[in-house]
């Protein structure tokens, strides 16, 4: 067992793990990221800390495990209060939680419907993906970040998923910038933050991994 106080059981390409690392970086916290081999063999620590789902990320605070990335980010925000990731008022927090839930329910699956398709990508899949981004664009409006003027909870939940968008664009034959320019600007704004840039891998690296997953799943 690591002597580090804060540990994340991690996988570099997992957008869910990226969420946790960005939150920890925002709070200026030191942590140890233990890389899990999700295909070769999950560690005993992972299997015992997350017996229900056996997935990453798992966050260990003084050895006490927590699972599910949104819950972990919430915990990090409540335990280390500065800077706050959620807005101060209850209604603002409810809005943030609503959008985090929407993102979790919709975005990754919509990506999967594109990158997992065999042969021609169905028009419906592309249409649905763009529609979801447009709904997020509308929620963003003219703001720099999702809930107000500062980078926060919803941005942290969403920005890691965008590291998979290059792969989706290549396979789907479209670009997010052309379809949703406001969203694309928000992405660039977030990626300039050190807490995010340190964590989000280059899109080409993710694309290589996606191609590998396609081979593994017999799609290519």
Partner 1 sequence: MADEDVVLLDFWPSPFGMRVRIALAEKEIKYEYKEEDLRNKSDLLLKMNPIHKKIPVLIHNGKPVCESLVQVQYIDEIWPHKSPLLPTDPYQRAIARFWGDFVDKKIYDLGRKIWSTKGEEQEAAKKEFIECLKLLEGELGNKAYFGGENLGYVDVVLVPFYSWFYAYEKCGNFSIETECPKLIAWAKRCMEKDSVSKSLPDQDKIYDYVLHLKKVFGIE
Q: Do 181 and 8 contact (CB within 8 A), yes or no?
A: no
Question: Whole-number minimum distance, CB 97 to partner 1, in Å?
Answer: 5
Question: How many other CB atoms are there within 10 angstroms of residue 156's CB atom?
Answer: 29
Its sign, for the CA torsion 111, 107, 179, 154, is: negative
Applying CB under 8 A, which of residues 29, 47, 94, 178 lies at the interface with partner 1? 94
Residue number, 69 or 163, with CB nearest to partner 1: 69
Distance of CA 66 to the CA centre of its chain: 17
64 binds partner 1 (CB under 8 A): yes
Cα 168 from chain centre: 15
Supply the minimum distance, in Å, between the C-beta of residue 42 and partner 1. Answer: 19
103 binds partner 1 (CB under 8 A): no
- Shortest Å distance, C-beta 95 to partner 1: 8
HEC secondary structure over 41-56: ECCHHHHHHCCCCCCC
Binding mask 108-147 for partner 1 (x = CB under 8 A): ---------------------------x------------
Q: Which of 98, 118, 122, 204 binds partner 1 (CB under 8 A)?
A: 98
**Contacting residues toward partner 1, per CB under 8 A:** 52, 61, 64, 66-68, 71-72, 74-75, 78-79, 90-91, 93-94, 97-98, 101-102, 135
């Amino acid at each position: 067992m690591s002597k580090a106080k804060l540990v994340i059981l991690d996988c570099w390409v997992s957008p869910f793990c990226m969420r946790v690392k960005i939150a920890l970086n925002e709070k200026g916290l030191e942590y140890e990221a233990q890389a899990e081999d999700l295909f070769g063999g999950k560690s005993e620590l992972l299997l015992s800390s997350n017996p229900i789902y056996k997935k990453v990320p798992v966050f260990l605070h003084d050895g006490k495990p927590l699972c599910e990335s949104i819950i972990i980010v919430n915990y990090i925000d409540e335990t280390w209060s500065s800077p706050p990731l959620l807005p101060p008022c209850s209604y603002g927090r409810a809005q943030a939680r609503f959008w985090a839930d929407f993102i979790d329910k919709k975005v990754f699956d919509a990506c999967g419907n594109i990158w997992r398709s065999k042969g021609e990508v169905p028009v419906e899949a592309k249409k649905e993906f763009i529609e979801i981004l447009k709904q997020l664009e509308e929620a963003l409006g003219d703001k720099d970040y999702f809930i107000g003027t500062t980078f926060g909870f919803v941005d942290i939940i969403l920005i890691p998923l965008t590291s998979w968008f290059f792969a989706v664009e290549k396979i789907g034959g479209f670009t997010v910038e052309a379809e949703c320019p406001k969203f694309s600007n928000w992405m660039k704004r977030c990626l300039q933050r050190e807490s995010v840039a340190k964590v989000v891998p280059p899109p080409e690296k993710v694309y290589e991994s996606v191609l590998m997953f396609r081979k593994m799943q017999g799609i290519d």
